[in-house]
């Protein structure tokens, strides 16, 4: 049954789902809710502090049963066990995938090649804690004896998106006497704007890079070193007080000139996009303190345990993964909108884009064959209610089906008059409008002239999930991120792809390396690209006055 070589579309449950879809495709959410008055209470699940209402999906109990069967036939249970056991499930890089070890309790034991990695995780966490405490208390001084007031994280991809998302998400808990900036883009504007009002004597740089070879990060780090040394009188010893590194690559860190005593390590079994709770989260810990950071880890761990142990029908990440797959592969939805109704989560959709699309944007199955159905949907989104006044028009009345994940909190961290009730009313109203719409009869009954009726009809039947939590805390953020991480894993397991490599980013990187000297050459270079690329390079050189 759980033959791993069988393409997903050849599984018996896939065929059953196909015919089931034929049967229910005309069913409207209006009818489904009428048929089962308790649907909105029944199709919900809770884990840790997160409550998921998935009743506004175009599914029946039969759909769920078949999706769970599909997961079972694809061996999801054994895939989950293999990940938690530390098997080398990232087969193309021959690595274990153990971000769950980063948030395991101190007393846990997780073996990788005969070695328990939990003590290593805690050794780094303790070192981070000590460092964060010293910076936050002012005990850690800069080269000129001033205390650190500005922290600039230099990194890109997983070494940026997690830290910046977590900083924004948990800003309420952050030390407001510290300024945090995040530099990721190779565009010099990013660095210039992040540092233009900072005093080098009070600025600490965290150079965050798993590999410590990423072109953007290394270029920005060199600019940062120049900027700091220039502002600090050129004494190279200043680097030790103003630069720390987060990496798996100690040799490269010390080649850059950062003392490895100021390096916070992690391991090749932590993927870049799964690293925000490793030492890559140093800026997060500096912002919110070690205790809050530990609370975030606890939240991650709670979701890990739920994912590992709960039956699939009650398993929040599994359900989210299966619903995403249903909407994508059976209803033909190409994208998922992630709509946090919380301003603090404004970078959450950007964070999820790397998590979801770098993980599951694959076209080859684990055995090297082409997949036989679409893989990752495109994730995108903006916080509510802002999005309502820009792209929701398309979600409500456009020709495309866009499943939505609404994320909201019962309590505001900044209660102010009626703001929060109005915000929440909008969340509930949007999912209601999407599901139930407004019929031509209803529009006509409002006295709308006939010619205008079609423009004002809302078809409804547009699926959404609503995730509710009491309050956005570090713990809840951990649960939320782990929820999406595991949902991505479930989808990848069913598509039988490797969620943990990213070969698709390599070609562009290699070509850019080749082009840099051609742009820089003092004399006209001999170009051997295609005619378009050659011409673009020549035009660029001409415009910048190189030749």
Binding residues (CB under 6 A) for ligand F6P: these are 156-159, 209-211, 214, 217, 272-273, 358, 502, 505
Nearer to ligand F6P, 466 or 502 (CB): 502
Strand partners, 404: 337, 464
Task: Provide the minimum distance between the beta carbon of 117 and ligand F6P in the complex, in angstroms, as a whole number.
Answer: 19
Nearer to ligand F6P, 273 or 306 (CB): 273
Nearer to ligand F6P, 358 or 475 (CB): 358
Nearer to ligand F6P, 211 or 388 (CB): 211
Rounded Cα distance, 19 and 24, in Å: 9
Task: Provide the minimum distance between the beta carbon of 219 and ligand F6P in the complex, in angstroms, as a whole number.
Answer: 12
Q: What are the Cα distances from residue 507, in Å, to 159, 498, 511, 512, 534? A: 20, 18, 6, 9, 18
What are the DSSP calls for 30-95, one per residue?
Answer: HHHHHH-TTHHHHSEEEETTEEEE-TTSS--HHHHHHHHHHHHHTTHHHHHHHHHHT---BTTTTB
Task: Let me know if 41 is a catalytic residue.
Answer: no
Rounded Cα distance, 175 and 18, in Å: 53
Nearer to ligand F6P, 422 or 505 (CB): 505
Task: Provide the minimum distance between the beta carbon of 367 and ligand F6P in the complex, in angstroms, as a whole number.
Answer: 23
Task: Provide the minimum distance between the beta carbon of 375 and ligand F6P in the complex, in angstroms, as a whole number.
Answer: 17
Q: Are 524 and 402 spatial neighbours (Cβ–Cβ below 8 Å)? A: no
Candidate list 202, 216, 358, 475, residue with the active-site label:
358
Cα 395–Cα 399–Cα 401 angle in degrees, nearest 5: 55
Task: Let me know if 509 is a catalytic residue.
Answer: yes
Q: In three state form, how does the secondary structure of 304-345 look? A: HHHHHHCCHHHCHHHHHHHHHHHHHHHCCCCEEEEEECCHHH
Task: Provide the minimum distance between the beta carbon of 352 and ligand F6P in the complex, in angstroms, as a whole number.
Answer: 14
Task: Provide the minimum distance between the beta carbon of 272 and ligand F6P in the complex, in angstroms, as a whole number.
Answer: 3
Q: What are the Cα distances from residue 41, in Å, to 27, 33, 90? A: 20, 11, 39
Residue with tokens 């800003």: 171
Parallel/antiparallel/unpaired status of strands 203-208 and 150-154: parallel
Nearer to ligand F6P, 17 or 161 (CB): 161
Spell 98-121 as b/e; 16+ CB within 10 A means b. bbbbbbbeeeeebebeeeebbeeb
Parallel/antiparallel/unpaired status of strands 50-53 and 44-47: antiparallel
Candidate list 196, 389, 455, 522, residue with the active-site label:
389
Q: In sequence order, which ranges of 86-214 are alpha helices (DSSP H)? A: 118-137, 161-169, 188-195
Nearer to ligand F6P, 241 or 273 (CB): 273
- Name the burial class of residue 242, with classes exposed (0-12), middle (13-18) and buried (19+) by CB atoms within 10 angstroms of its CB: buried
Task: Provide the minimum distance between the beta carbon of 379 and ligand F6P in the complex, in angstroms, as a whole number.
Answer: 16
- Name the burial class of residue 140, with classes exposed (0-12), middle (13-18) and buried (19+) by CB atoms within 10 angstroms of its CB: middle
Which positions are annotated as active-site residues?
Answer: 358, 389, 509
């Amino acid at each position: 049954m759980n033959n791993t070589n069988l393409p997903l579309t050849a599984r018996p449950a896939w065929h059953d789902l196909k015919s089931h879809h034929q049967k229910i495709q005309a069913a409207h959410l209006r009818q489904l809710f009428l048929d089962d008055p308790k649907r909105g209470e029944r199709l919900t699940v809770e884990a840790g502090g997160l409550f998921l209402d998935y009743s506004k999906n175009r599914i029946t109990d039969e759909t769920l049963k078949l999706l769970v069967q599909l997961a079972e036939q694809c061996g999801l249970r054994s895939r989950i066990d293999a990940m938690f056991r530390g098997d080398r499930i990232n087969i193309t890089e021959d690595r274990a995938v153990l971000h769950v070890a980063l948030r395991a309790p101190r007393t846990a034991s997780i073996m990788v090649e005969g070695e328990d990695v939990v003590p290593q995780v805690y050794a780094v966490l303790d070192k981070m804690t000590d460092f964060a405490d010293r910076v936050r208390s002012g005990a850690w001084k800069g080269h000129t004896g001033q205390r650190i007031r500005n922290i600039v994280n230099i990194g890109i991809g997983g070494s940026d998106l997690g830290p910046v998302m977590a900083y924004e998400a948990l800003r309420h808990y952050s030390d407001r006497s510290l300024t945090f900036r995040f530099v990721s883009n190779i565009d010099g504007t990013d660095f210039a704007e992040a540092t233009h009002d900072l005093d080098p004597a009070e600025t600490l740089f965290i150079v965050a890079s798993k590999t410590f070879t990423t072109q953007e990060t290394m270029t920005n780090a060199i600019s940062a070193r120049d900027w700091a040394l220039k502002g600090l009188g050129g004494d190279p010893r200043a680097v030790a007080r103003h630069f720390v590194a987060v990496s798996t690559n100690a040799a490269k860190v010390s080649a850059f000139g950062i003392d490895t005593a100021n390096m916070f390590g992690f391991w090749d079994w932590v993927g870049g996009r799964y690293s925000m709770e490793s030492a890559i989260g140093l800026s997060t810990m500096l912002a919110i303190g070690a205790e809050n950071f530990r609370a975030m880890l606890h939240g991650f761990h709670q979701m890990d345990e739920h994912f590992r142990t709960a039956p699939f029908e009650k398993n929040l990440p599994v359900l989210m993964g299966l619903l995403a797959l249903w909407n994508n592969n059976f209803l033909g939805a190409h994208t998922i909108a992630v709509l946090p109704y919380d301003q603090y989560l404004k970078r959450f959709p950007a964070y999820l884009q790397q998590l979801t699309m770098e993980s599951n944007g694959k076209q080859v199955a684990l055995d090297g064959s082409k997949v036989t159905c679409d893989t990752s949907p495109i994730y995108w989104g903006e916080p509510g209610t802002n999005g309502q006044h820009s792209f929701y028009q398309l979600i409500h009345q456009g020709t495309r089906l866009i499943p939505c994940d609404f994320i909201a909190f019962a309590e505001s961290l900044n209660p102010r008059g009626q703001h929060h009730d109005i915000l929440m009313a909008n969340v509930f109203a949007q999912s209601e409008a999407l599901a139930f719409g407004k019929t031509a009869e209803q529009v006509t009954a409002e006295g709308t002239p006939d010619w205008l009726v079609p423009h004002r009809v809302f078809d409804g039947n547009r699926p959404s999930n609503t995730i509710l939590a009491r309050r956005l805390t570090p713990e809840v953020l951990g649960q939320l991120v782990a929820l999406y991480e595991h949902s991505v894993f479930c989808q990848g397991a069913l598509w039988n792809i490797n969620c943990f490599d990213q070969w698709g980013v390599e070609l562009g990187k290699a070509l850019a390396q080749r082009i840099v000297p051609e742009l820089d050459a003092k004399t006209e270079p001999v170009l051997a690209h295609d005619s378009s690329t050659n011409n673009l390079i020549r035009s660029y050189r001409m415009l910048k006055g190189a030749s």
